[in-house]
Chain A
Amino acid sequence: MASTATLRKPASGFRISRKMLPYVLSLPALLVCIGILIPFFTAVIYSFQRYRLSQPWARQFNWGENYLNFVTDPAFWNTLKVSLLYAGITVTLELLLGLGIALLLQRRSTINNFISIMLLLPLMIAPALAALMWKLMTNPSFGILSYLASLIGLHDFRWASSPDTALLTVVLVDIWVYTPFIMILLLAGLRSLPTQPFEAAALDGVPRSFVFFRITLPMLTPYILTATLFRLLDSIQQFDIIYAMTQGGPGNTLTVFQVEAYLNFFQSTNVGRSAALLIILWAITYTLSNVFIKNWLRLRERARGEA
């Protein structure tokens, strides 16, 4: 960078001063995004207002009332509980499954490479469409999964349409779509590890469990953290799969943050409550993403250094 500053010989062409150039180059991208920041601030204002689309005349600031009401609102606690439960279960299971699959595919061979490419396909399907695929497969009258459930004695297993199994069903779809994400990141991590420690351990006849827990896992930690935080941030905001599958139902079984906010806005037209919910979700993701970005920057530097 220092050498850029010392080079002062733009012989011809555009005469934009060197100091201004980077701003000029990034300005258009910024302008487009500023348009996005304005609604963000609007949402903050909404969250401090009593504002219903059905009663626009009654719109006024009520300051923290929307937030205070949450304390005694069982629907809010249900939203928080379901969101955390959903994020916790999906990320944990996807991490274990993704790590397992990455370990199975670690050795480079034609068949392993082929399988790892095949496993990417679910990740490339729109989550909303993936939910529809599973909806067809769990349909009570012709769904193949309902049929398979009946074979093992689970007659009338209602998947997403029963409050008892709705969470399980959407979690299953999430696992189907996003496990490949964790798998592909961890596989890249595993294959980039230096081979010497493993060769040394093999020569010394170190037990494989020891190698896994004391060598593989610690060296893989940065990758595991990246994958986990990426997934956590997406999962706590999950909308597509749940909305396409059940629209938050049955009842309020699956009203996670974004689904609840969507329904509040468009069905009960309670803009104030909807905005307050989203601000709380934003606060959670902002905190998580700050942790994440710090970690991630370090990893990115390392990846760049090794590349």
Chain B
Amino acid sequence: METMSPVERVLRAVALTLVVVFFMFPIFWIFLMSFQTNETILAIPPSIVFSPTLSNYAALITGKLQTAAGTLDIAFMRNLGNSIFLSVASVAVALVLGVPAAYAFARHKFKGSEDIAFTLLSFRFAPPLLVLLPLTQYFQWLGLSNTYFGLIWVYQLICLPLILWIVRGYFEDISADVEYAYRIAGHSWFATFRKIALPLAGPGIAAAGLLAFIFAWNNFVFALVLASADKQPVTVGALAFVTSSGIQYGQIASAIVLSVTPTLALALYAQRYLVEGLSLGAVKG
């Protein structure tokens, strides 16, 4: 690389600092807000010096919010539980259904395989409401409205294509010769799949699962359309929270902090795989 002049060095540093401030400041600010009472939040000018309080988190955990109009019951912990359950269950279902299919697509070029793979991929790019709005009526008819079962099914729209396309790439990267050798030794395809293919693609499967979890957790529109308050995840729950009157701002902030922490932690843990996952394997990280 060419050497940089001191002026350029300074300009680059300034530009990078601005970038970091722009992208990090909102997270930092909301995090600070979650430890503040309404009095310090409303103070002008705003200050980052205040005595932190855990009362916002305590109120969320107990579900009793003190407002000007009296105590308000908000089951935010229930939303958090729903988010965890819906995301974990959706990813589990997507892995069970998607990994064998990914293996089939990677190892066997069968009739219609590319068409099927693309149909699945096209779900990733179709407007979700196109499917969701008629689905509200089918769900009513089938008795699936506001059920975890129905929601987990719809969550496959995001989880399944992700798992299928990423894991397929990992299976394709495994040399088929290893599998042939094992099969020639007299093992069934299932034993080969379980003992050879699965362990070799293991890291890829884990990465795809983590990403699918993040996407499921961050989904908003599915539950907005198909779930009532008792089944809603944090993304929808937090919105209802903001619009109810008299809520303390710090409590909104702490609800946001609790809602984003799991995905941020997972993202940091799995950051190595994010490039591949986000581009469905189109770009290698």
Contacts and interface: CB of A to CB of B under 8 A. Distances in A.
Chain B interface extent, by class: 35 or more
A307 B284 contact: yes
Interface in A108-139: 115, 117-130, 132-137, 139
Chain A interface extent, by class: 35 or more
Interface stretch (B12-20, B56-64, B198-206): B12-20
Interface string B196-227: 00000000000000000010011111001100
Contacts of A303: 281-284
A208 interface: yes
Interface in A161-177: 176
Interface stretch (A40-48, A60-68, A72-80, A86-94): A40-48
Interface in B18-71: 19-20, 22-24, 26-27, 29-30, 33, 41-42, 44-46
Given A136-B33, A141-B42, A293-B118, A239 B108 contact: no
A19 B153 CA distance: 29
Contacts of A124: 214, 218, 260, 263-264, 266-267
B15 A262 contact: no
B92 to A, nearest CB: 13
A29 B189 contact: no
B97 interface: yes
A126 B235 contact: yes
A contacts with B: majority SS: helix
A285 B278 contact: no
B105 A126 contact: no
B131 interface: yes
B84 interface: no
A164 B192 CA distance: 62
A149 interface: no
B contacts with A: majority SS: helix
A8 B190 CA distance: 15
Contacts of A122: 23, 26-27
Contacts of B103: 25
A282 B130 contact: yes
A1 B97 contact: no
A275 B133 contact: yes
A184 B260 contact: no
A43 B127 CA distance: 12
Interface string B95-116: 0111011011101111001001
B259 A126 contact: yes
Interface of B: 1-2, 12, 15-16, 19-20, 22-24, 26-27, 29-30, 33, 41-42, 44-46, 96-98, 100-101, 103-105, 107-110, 113, 116, 118-123, 125-135, 137-138, 153-154, 156-157, 160, 164, 169, 172-173, 176, 180, 183-184, 186-191, 214, 217-221, 224-225, 234-236, 238-239, 242, 249, 252-253, 256, 259-260, 263-264, 266-268, 271, 274-275, 278-279, 281-285
Given A11-B186, A39-B135, 13 more contacts: A9-B184, A21-B108, A29-B100, A104-B16, A119-B19, A120-B274, A136-B30, A258-B127, A275-B134, A278-B133, A286-B122, A289-B125, A306-B284
Question: Which 3 A-B residue pairs are closest in the complex by CB-CB distance?
Answer: A13-B188, A126-B218, A25-B104
22 contacts: A13-B189, A14-B189, A23-B110, A29-B97, A29-B101, A43-B133, A100-B15, A105-B16, A115-B16, A115-B20, A118-B23, A118-B24, A125-B218, A126-B235, A128-B218, A128-B220, A133-B30, A185-B275, A258-B127, A286-B122, A300-B281, A304-B172
